[in-house]
Structure formats: structure tokens, C-alpha cells
Amino acid sequence: MMAGEQSQKGGQGSNQMQIAGDYIVNVGITEERAQEISLVTARRVVEEFAVESHQILEARVQELDQRVIKNLSDADALDSFADPAFIRSYRKAQEGAASSERSSDYDMLAALLTDRAKSPRERPRIVGIDGAIDIVDRVDAEALRALTVCNAMAQWIPQGSLVAQGLQLFESIFASLIDGPLPIGADWLDHLDALSAVRRNSFGEMKTMEQFYGEQLIGYIAPGVAAEALSQFVGGDLLEEPWPFLILPHELKEGFFRIGVTDANALEKNLRNVGKPDAYVQTVMSRAASEFGLGQQDDAARAELMTRIRALPNFGLFAEWWDRNAKNGHHITPIGRALARANAFRLDTGHRLPRE
């Protein structure tokens, strides 16, 4: 589709520009200018409250402002202060900070605004982020903790080839995220439902921990090949190929070997990364499935995986809590996901969780 013709005239010495479609001006906001803008919006927020509370509210909002400006400066995203849509979200965050005495809320609001700045035109994601900003100061701490670990379970899966390595990564993540007691009963779900962070499903149940990780970590619990049969498989037409080096001792079945991947997709990715053509990839994946059982669950291996999970102090604690609550069907909304991610990143000081 061709753009319509444009014409314009200007006097001597005038500056002219023609625009077809959206025109974005990079204004180059500095930290000083960002502080000026934040001060203006903060004054408007504080003025809405009684004068007796102004000193406390100013201190709270200032804590948020310092965090936001630092985060955006580190992310090279200070130009977000020139975006009216971002300023609207920022004002809501300042209102939330003014209403909260918890310093952790300021961290979460700053994290949400940073996500907002990185996704200025992704409207579905923005809806979740803005909704999360609205409820930060009202969410119960235990409910937020439960939401955070449930979202982490659903969102992040280890990609390492070794079972022990993958479980230890999860253990370190849950050690960071479980910073206090997890709630008992289902009141926490009603609370989050009222805030639109989750949706209750009274007629359904959640998968048990064994069912969920049996599917997500299916490569760990594949039947595998007995040691005495391994030499026959690795030899022959694939002897000189790189993929047999992905074959590892089966940590969950003594005397067996398996493909060292979490699932078939990971195997395909590894093969394509070394430049193998489609026909070769399909042949190897077919043999991995038929001879190693990749994509199948071995009952004994799955039971051993759960034994090792339950033996871990934090991952095991979460697994036990999850199974007690599995009958309480629910799903996490975009608002809940945004809130849980912000809290997870606040707690993940070791940067074990991917930020993309």
C-alpha cells in the first residue's frame, strides 16, 4: 500500500519535517530531568492527602523515585519519562508507595516500572503490569510468597543435562523465594482472586508435583538403555558423530544410560546448534525415542526423582506444600504473573532467574 503524497512549504530559514506514520522523538532524558519530573508528579500525589501526613508520604515516594531512576538509568531507559503512558503508570506507582509502609513494596513497584519501560508498546503485558502496580500495597505477604513460588514453578524449568545440577538450581531458587512461611488453607487464593491476581477454579484440581515435573523434566525420567546394550547402540553408523556424547549415566536408574537432556526439544536444539541437517536430526531423535525412550516416563525413575526433590530443604518444602494444596484449582492471571515476577526478581539477588 503506497503512502499518500505529501507537500509542504516553508519560509526562509525555517525547519521542516514530513512524517508518514508514527514519529518518535528521542528527547534524551537525563537523571536530573527525570528527578524533576518525578518531583512534579510526587507533589500532585502528596497534595491529595491530608497535610498532616505530607512528611511521611514524601519520604515514601522519594524512596520509590530513587529506586526507579536508578533502575531506568541502569537499563538505559530514562527516556520513558517522556512517554505520557509511562508517566500515568508512574503516578499510580507513586500513589501505591504513598499508601505503603513496606520498603519491599517500593522495590517491587520499581521493578514493575522497569518492566513497563522495557515493553512500552506490548499492550497485553502492560495491562498485567499496570494491574500489578495497582495492588502492590494491598497484597498480603504470605499470599504474595505463595503466588511467587507457584509462578516460578510454572515459568522456569532447568535446562541442564544433569539431574543433580537441575535440582540444585531449583533448590537455590526456592531458597531465595521462600523468605517466610507459606499460607495454610485456601484463604490466600480468595485474597488473590479478589485482587484479580488469580482465578479460582472450584471444579478442577492442579497437577501433583510428581505429575507436573514428570512432564516438564521428562528427559530426566526416560527409561534409558541398560549398560550392557549401550555399546551396540553407540557403535556403527553413529560412532563418529557428536550426539552420542550427550549420553550419560542415568542418575535415577542404576546400571542404565539416558540422553542428557530435559526433553526432546532440548535434544533437537543441541543437534541444530552443531549444524546437523534436518534428515540427520530426525533420524537421531527417532532413535533417541525408540531406543532410549526419550519422551516416555519410567515409573521407577519418576519415583526416585520425587524422593530426591522431597529430600531438599526448600524445594522439598514447596513440593509438600503444593501437593497439600493441589485440590485448590486456580490459574495465575497476567496481573498475578507480573506481580510474581517482580517479587521473584526482588528476592533473586543471585540472578539465577532469566530476566528476559
The predicted pLDDT at position 50 comes to 58
The predicted pLDDT at position 25 comes to 45
Amino acid making up residue 101? E
Give the residue carrying C-alpha cell 508435583.
209
pTM: predicted TM-score of the whole model, two decimal places:
0.81
The predicted pLDDT at position 23 comes to 39
Long-range contacts of 317-320 (CB under 8 A, 24+ apart): 317/174, 317/178, 317/182, 318/149, 318/153, 318/174, 318/178, 318/182, 319/209
What are the b/e assignments for 246-272, b being 16+ CB within 10 Å?
Answer: bbeebbbbeebbbbbbbbbebbbebbe
Amino acid making up residue 133? I
Q: What are the angstrom distances between the C-alpha of 75 and each of 78, 85, 342?
A: 8, 18, 16
Candidates 195, 150, 179, 183; CA nearest to 329 is 150
The predicted pLDDT at position 150 comes to 95
Amino acid making up residue 174? F
The predicted pLDDT at position 58 comes to 84
Alpha carbons 135 and 293: distance in angstroms, whole number: 47
Candidates 223, 247, 224; CA nearest to 235 is 247
Alpha carbons 226 and 303: distance in angstroms, whole number: 19
Supply 42's cell numbers: 510526587
Supply 304's cell numbers: 526416585
The predicted pLDDT at position 1 comes to 32
352: helix, strand or coil: coil
Candidates 188, 196, 187, 223; CA nearest to 295 is 223
From first to last of the 356 residues of the chain, give the pLDDT tens digit: 333 344 444 444 434 444 444 434 445 788 888 878 877 787 777 777 656 567 788 888 888 989 998 988 888 888 888 888 998 999 999 988 988 889 999 999 999 999 999 887 888 889 999 999 999 999 999 999 999 999 999 888 887 789 999 999 999 999 999 999 999 989 999 999 999 999 998 677 899 999 999 999 999 999 998 888 776 655 444 445 555 667 889 999 999 999 989 999 999 988 898 888 898 888 888 988 988 999 999 999 999 999 999 999 999 999 999 999 888 889 999 999 999 999 998 998 888 887 76
Alpha carbons 252 and 285: distance in angstroms, whole number: 22
Alpha carbons 286 and 42: distance in angstroms, whole number: 61
